Amino acid sequence: MRHNAIVDNILLRPMSFLYGMVVGLRNRLFEWKILKEHTFDVPVVVVGNLAIGGTGKTPHTEYVVSMLKREYRIAVLSRGYKRHTKGFIMADRRSTPNDIGDEPYQIYQKFGAEVRVAVCESRVEGIKQLLELDESINLIVLDDAFQHRYVKPSASIVLTEWNWPVYNDELLPLGRLREPMSGLMRADIVVITKCPSQIRPMDVRLFYEHLNLYPYQKLYFSHYRYGSLVCVFPDEVRYMPDLNWLNPDDSILLVAGIANPRPLQRYLRSFKVNVKLVKFPDHHDFGRHDFESIQKAYAKLPGKNKYIITTEKDSVRIANNPYFPHALKQSTFYVPIEVEFLPPAMPQGSMPFADELRRIIKQP
């Protein structure tokens, strides 16, 4: 293992260096005004990260929308990663994950008509079309657009994981970083995500020291709160199980196509049941053979009571897939998650996250 790490370092570090040079030049072109940042008459909030995948952008985007939707007419704009379409598309009741991507579809399903949801490769063009189609929109939230610098945000929120912070990572392809840690300097708010529910003051201090943010930048800590099970196929379920009812003889097949399913796996194992993980790549497009593998793994599980549990993001792809085995539908559920900020981690005198974001948005 050590030998492989040394070989990877020798082979990939020069590529990471070249990648960093290109990213650095691109950022300089924006700073020198050679590449143009567009501004709009409505505030724009960007939720993003420096690493590829797994930091919790969609749950935190949903949190921002939830806390501001009573004050603003919000539109969420995403590029619609891995969708099967091109150009600008506004989500409606006929939309599918293939049309707009799984994460925008999840957001649309959660908020419905309260919030406009659209996808477009060009965030500039997407914002223009949103504002033309709905003049009542007065706040735009861009999901995963921190590196898309053609739009100048009113507020930038950058996420990094508790267990894999940016200061312990490397640039692509040696590590997971899209740009160097210095990119954090463009952020208004940095959020450490997927924290344990109890964090020590010493750990908080270490993050402050390593990140070395400017005084005007604010650092927050968040974690996930898991909800009750939800049916993926509600028409097929005769009774709703509760995780607290499970016993050591029961089994769960965790099906996950996300970057990091370990926190959910740990949560399910806390109920003292047998948990088997079937992991797929992030944003996986499930096919017939995948479901055949899942059905075989489910059949091999021990115990009288067996369940398939997946993530909220995966559930939207599974529910809309015609190949999912009918026999498994009554046993298939997902665990919803909500973001919760940890007040004890805030420095003395800091505003709660929601109030700080409102303050930044309202700045002239």
Out of 133-137, 152-156, 256-260, 343-347, which region has the weakest mean confidence (pLDDT)?
A: 343-347
Q: How many residues does the chain have?
A: 364
- At 214, the pLDDT band (50, 70, 90 cuts) reads very high
Q: How far apart are CA 139 and CA 51, in angstroms?
A: 26
- The answer to which of 5-9, 77-81, 245-249 has the lowest mean pLDDT is 5-9
Unique residue bearing structure tokens 């501004």: 39
How far apart, in whole angstroms, are the C-alpha atoms of residue 297 and residue 240?
Answer: 22
- What value does the mean pLDDT take over residues 206-231? 94
Q: What is the mean pLDDT of the chain?
A: 93
Q: What is the DSSP letter of 352?
A: P
Edge-first strand listing for the sheet containing 274-279: 230-231, 332-335, 306-311, 251-256, 274-279
pLDDT in tens, 293-347: 999 999 999 988 999 999 999 999 999 999 999 999 999 999 999 999 998 666 6
Structure tokens at 220: 């927050």
Task: Please state, in angstroms and rounded to a whole number, the distance separating the CA atoms of residues 263 and 270.
Answer: 11
DSSP 182-236: GGGGG-SEEEEES--SS--HHHHHHHHHHH---TT-EEEEEEEEE---EESSGGG
Evaluate whether 139 touches 74 at the Cβ level (below 8 Å).
yes
Inter-residue contact 286 to 318 (CB < 8 Å):
yes
What does the pLDDT look like over 25-74, one tens digit per residue? 999 999 999 999 999 999 999 999 999 888 899 999 999 999 999 999 99
- Measured over the CA atoms of residue 143, residue 147, residue 150 and residue 151, the dihedral's sign is positive
For residue 232, the Cα-to-chain-centroid distance in whole angstroms is 20
264-284 core/surface letters (b: 16 or more CB in 10 A; e: else) = bbebbeebebbbebbebebbb
**CATH number of the structural domain 44-225+341-361:** 3.40.50.300
Name the token pair of 99. Answer: 């049309």
- Give this prediction's pTM: 0.93
**CATH class given for the domain over 229-335:** alpha beta
Q: How far is CA 248 from the centre of its chain?
A: 32
The sheet that has 74-78: what strands, in order across it?
Answer: 89-90, 116-119, 74-78, 139-143, 44-49, 155-161, 189-193, 218-226, 337-341
The residues with which 115 forms a beta bridge, in sequence order, are: none
The tokens for 31 are 């700073």
HSE, side-chain direction, 13 A CA sphere, residue 307: 26
Helices (H), the chain: 2-31, 57-68, 97-100, 102-111, 123-133, 201-211, 262-269, 288-300, 312-319, 353-361
In the chain, list all ranges with CATH 3.40.50.300: 44-225+341-361
- Looking at residues 143-171, what average pLDDT do you find? 95
CA–CA gap between residue 54 and residue 206 (Å, rounded): 22
Longest dimension (CA), the chain: 65
